[in-house]
Structure 1
Amino acid sequence: MNKSLYIKPVLELSPSEYSKTEHEYPNGSSIEYPNEWNQYWLKNLSESGIDDIVPCIKGQFFAELSRISDSTLEIILNTQLEETDLNSEDEICALEGGLTVFFDDIPLIYPQCCSSLSDYKNWLETLEDKPTTWKQIWIGHPMIYVKISNNKLEFSELTEANSPKDKAEFEVDLKEFSNQIINTIDQIKSFQIRVEKILKNGNYKRPQRLADILVNNTQ
């Protein structure tokens, strides 16, 4: 049986940004109690009117772009921008999230702390560089390193170090990964069009520019 590789672009929706009341945390880590953490997350989101999110990874706060409805996206954008000085581009933060890499339905890579959706550009740059020695890719921290060997894209462990261990944690077919990235970029472009449309309908000034900053972090 062929193993399947696919990449999903996601937003990270922090529960504290959407909750109206304090809720008790699950009694354990997201690894030990993934379902309980998802229930906690969805309960917080529901207090801002978001009730149609499907968790992308158990125990994590990620929503796949293609599965976010327009009504939910409107809430996300309004929440993101409500306390932002839109007259100063430096004050506008990119949407949190990034790319998730699945292999046989197992999430091998997903955004870490301080990541943003715009981090997809780091993957593009790396594929263009074709590194044969370890090259860092920012996905938040801890980070990951990749290199190309024998038409395979090799991945390091997650690390905060300046260099990873010599041995790769896993590898995938380079061509297949590159094709998946192309498909992912198309999804992000479509998502940006949706963002711009919702901003325009919400009477935000310069919706095209604002959407570009939110999605691509182009201050």
Structure 2
Amino acid sequence: MELINTIEINPYDFMDSDDPELNHLPEDGIEFWRACISHRGLGRLKPVSSGSYLVDVNTINDAELAEILKNELEDVDLMKYGEQVGRISGGVVLSLGDKIYISPNCCGDMGDLAGWEAITRTATGEWKQLWIGHPWVYYRVQGEMVEFSDYTEHERTTGLSILVTVSRSELVAELALIRLEQDQFEKRVQRVLEKMEITHSGKIAAIMMGHH
């Protein structure tokens, strides 16, 4: 089992609408995604899976991160950063073998790691919601194993189907690594913002990572 810290690179946030090449590409394909982001210097990036906009944060260099942050702050009045800066979309991906089972969805963000960490403090028992955006999943600790349900948009804890089961001890170990990695990424965000001469870089980085 592996957990991956990801951020979402939405092609529509970066696309040049005047680019004629985009008219000949299917919008749900990797070619469209890469064409939209390439003119901003992001064409080297790869999604974690086919059809996904999620990118492993460890594969993003500082120049690419600067472009992503510029896009995040494009319409922000930095004098009102506390009100206008939002969390970076994305979150934790869970893979087992070569298959991804759980990915952040619409409205999921980096701060949702706290919900994953709550699993480590949960006793054996009933299903509990894990917010990853919507649709979301539920989890249930069963002794030394953790069961995750299929995706749902219903507030219910009955009639759930099991999507994947993982070792609790392995999940705890992975979450410790992911937390360390995310803290290091927040520091990278702050350093890049400083290079961009953005004031209050530390506070803005914390907001973007959902730690504020």
Q: Secondary structure at the match of 1:101?
A: strand
CA distance in structure 2 between the partners assigned to 1:207 and 1:27 by the alignment: 38
- Residue 177 (str. 1) matches residue 171 (str. 2): yes
Please show how residues 124-163 of structure 1 align to structure 2 within 5 Å.
124-130=117-123, 132-163=125-156
State the distance in 2 between where 1:10 and 1:60 align: 11
Note closer, same or farther for the CA distance 1:72–1:151 as it changes in structure 2 (3 Å cut).
same
Equivalent pairs counted in the alignment come to 207
Contact (CA 8 Å) 1:122, 1:138: kept in 2 or not? yes
Give the Cα–Cα distance (whole angstroms) in 2 for the partners of residues 132 and 177 of structure 1. 17
Residue 8 (structure 1) shift: 0.3
What SS does the aligned partner of 1:216 have?
coil
Displacement, 1:175?
0.4
The match for 2:205 among 185, 189, 211 is 211
Superimposed CA distance per residue, residues 140-175 of structure 1 (whole angstroms, 9 cap, x where no aligned partner): 000100010121000111001111524422211000
Query: Where do 1:48-197 residues align within 5 Å?
Result: 48-88=40-80, 89-130=82-123, 132-164=125-157, 165-197=159-191
Q: Partners in 2 of 1:136 and 1:24 — Cα distance?
A: 41
- Structure 1 length as normaliser, TM-score? 0.89
The answer on whether the counterparts of 1:7 and 1:101 sit within 8 Å (CA) in structure 2 is yes
Q: Equivalents in 2 of 1:131, 1:25: separation in Å?
A: 52
Indicate conservation of the 8 Å contact 2:101/2:164, yes or no: no
Change beyond 3 A, Cα 1:71–1:143: same
RMSD: 1.7
Equivalent position SS for 2:79: coil
Deviation at 1:58, TM superposition (A): 1.1
Change (3 A) 1:12 1:104: same
Q: Equivalent residue for 1:33?
A: none
Give the corresponding residue for 1:34: none
Is 1:8 matched with 2:4?
yes
Residues 43 and 173 of structure 1: CA distance in aligned 2, closer, same or farther (over 3 Å): same
Say which SS state the counterpart of residue 213 (structure 1) adopts.
Answer: helix
- Tell me, yes or no, if the aligned pair for 2:14 and 2:36 is still in contact at 8 Å: yes
Question: 1:79 and 1:53, CA in 2 relative to 1: closer, same or farther beyond 3 A?
Answer: same
Cα deviation per residue 1:3-32 (whole Å; 9 max; x = unaligned)?
Answer: xx000000001101111126248558x5xx
In the alignment, structure 2 segments of 5+ residues that lack a partner are none
Which residue identity does 1:55 align to in structure 2?
P
Moved over 3 A (4+): 24-28
Question: Unaligned regions of 5+ residues in structure 1, if any?
Answer: 31-36
Is the Cα contact below 8 Å between 2:48 and 2:56 reproduced in 1?
yes
Letter of the aligned partner of 1:149 in structure 2? Q
TM-score by length of 2: 0.92
* Preserved CA contact (<8 Å) 2:6 2:56: yes
